[in-house]
């Protein structure tokens, strides 16, 4: 069975890692091209060494590459502002876009939670690294009980935060908070990102705090553990750092939960270690984004092949 041709826009760390994942683990997709804007970038040089057609003229250059007409899926690993321009440029050409920036033009997709709902969307958004790591847990808790308030803190190694990540800090918090609500199911969401300068660099760590009322401890713990296993199926370095904690509240939190009654706080502590194929192992924040994006493209391609057959 022929595989679906895909292209990557963005020759930085995320784009390069994604290219290598497609080439190594792509079952239904295969690399057709990589586009960047820096002719001297290491990502474009690596792509050329691997025989992948390249352009340093961004999305416009991608359109001009021989064989672009066969490309069906384009990953955008640039920035929120760049994706808005790229989406406008590529929209008339009928390609599907998997957006790894916080631009949020298309529906939010977290594979373990809502992948099947958006397989026909022309442009799907991968939220953020923090969103990919924490929203599955919020959704798991919401599957057991109402979540009036959910707050996540994503701590990543400063060395793993490139120019794109740093330029998108505001979009990160806004996009992640919105997805905690729309995908995770919390009535109100908040997101915080911490760039940890520790040396040696620490792997990504995420904290999920949910306010709930009269929780069933066993049901919540089981739901969270099942969801962690589901995410780990496509992000092997994703794991619980310690058992799920459920504690009774001893202070007034009505300003956070609004008018909802809450009695307990559920705390989930996660760790995300990268696969270390291209990026260092501590860059789990980047690895979870590329792994989730590949998962989405694989499912879109597989579904397309089923429809065609």
86 labelled as ligand-binding? no
11 labelled as ligand-binding? yes
Please report how many Cα atoms fall inside a 13 Å half-sphere around the Cα of residue 168, on the Cβ side: 25
161 labelled as ligand-binding? yes
162 labelled as ligand-binding? yes
14 labelled as ligand-binding? yes
Instruction: Say which of 20, 129, 147, 244 is annotated catalytic.
Output: 129
b/e map of 179-191 (b: 16 or more CB within 10 Å)? Answer: bbbebbbbbbbbb
Q: Any catalytic annotation for residue 129? A: yes
164 labelled as ligand-binding? yes
Axis crossing angle, helix 129-142 with helix 169-182, rounded to the nearest 10:
20
The tokens for 240 are 């619980």
12 labelled as ligand-binding? yes
309 labelled as ligand-binding? no
The tokens for 60 are 């416009």
Please report how many Cα atoms fall inside a 13 Å half-sphere around the Cα of residue 212, on the Cβ side: 26
**Active-site amino acid positions:** 129
Q: Which residues are annotated as a binding site for NAD(+)?
A: 11-14, 160-168, 285
Which residues sit in the known binding site?
11-14, 160-168, 285
């Amino acid at each position: 069975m022929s595989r679906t041709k895909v292209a990557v826009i963005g020759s930085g760390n995320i784009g390069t890692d994604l290219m290598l994942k497609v080439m190594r683990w792509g079952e239904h997709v295969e690399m057709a091209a990589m586009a960047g804007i820096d002719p001297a970038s290491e990502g474009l040089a690596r792509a050329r060494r691997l025989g992948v057609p390249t352009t340093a003229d961004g999305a416009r250059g991608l359109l001009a590459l021989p064989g672009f007409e066969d490309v069906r899926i384009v990953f955008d690993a640039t920035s929120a502002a760049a994706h808005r321009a790229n989406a406008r440029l590529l929209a008339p050409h009928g390609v599907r876009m998997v957006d790894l920036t916080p631009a949020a033009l298309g529906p939010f997709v977290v594979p373990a939670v809502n992948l099947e709902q958006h397989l026909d969307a022309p442009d799907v958004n991968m939220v953020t690294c923090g969103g990919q790591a924490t929203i599955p847990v919020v959704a798991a808790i919401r599957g057991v009980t109402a979540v009036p308030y959910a707050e996540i803190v994503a701590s990543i190694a400063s060395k793993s935060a490139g120019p794109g990540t740093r330029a998108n800090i505001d979009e990160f918090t806004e996009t992640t908070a919105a997805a905690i609500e729309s995908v995770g199911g919390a009535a109100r969401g908040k997101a915080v990102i911490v760039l940890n300068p520790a040396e040696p660099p620490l792997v990504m760590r995420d904290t999920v705090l949910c306010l709930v009322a009269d929780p069933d401890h066993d049901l919540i713990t089981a739901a969270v553990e099942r969801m962690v296993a589901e995410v780990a199926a496509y992000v092997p370095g994703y794991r619980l750092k310690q058992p799920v904690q459920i504690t009774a509240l001893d202070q007034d939190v009505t300003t956070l939960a609004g008018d909802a009654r809450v009695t307990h706080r559920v705390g989930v502590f996660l760790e995300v270690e990268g696969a270390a194929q291209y990026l260092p192992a501590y860059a789990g924040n980047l690895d979870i984004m590329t792994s989730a994006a590949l998962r989405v493209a694989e499912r879109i391609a597989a579904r397309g092949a089923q429809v065609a057959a």
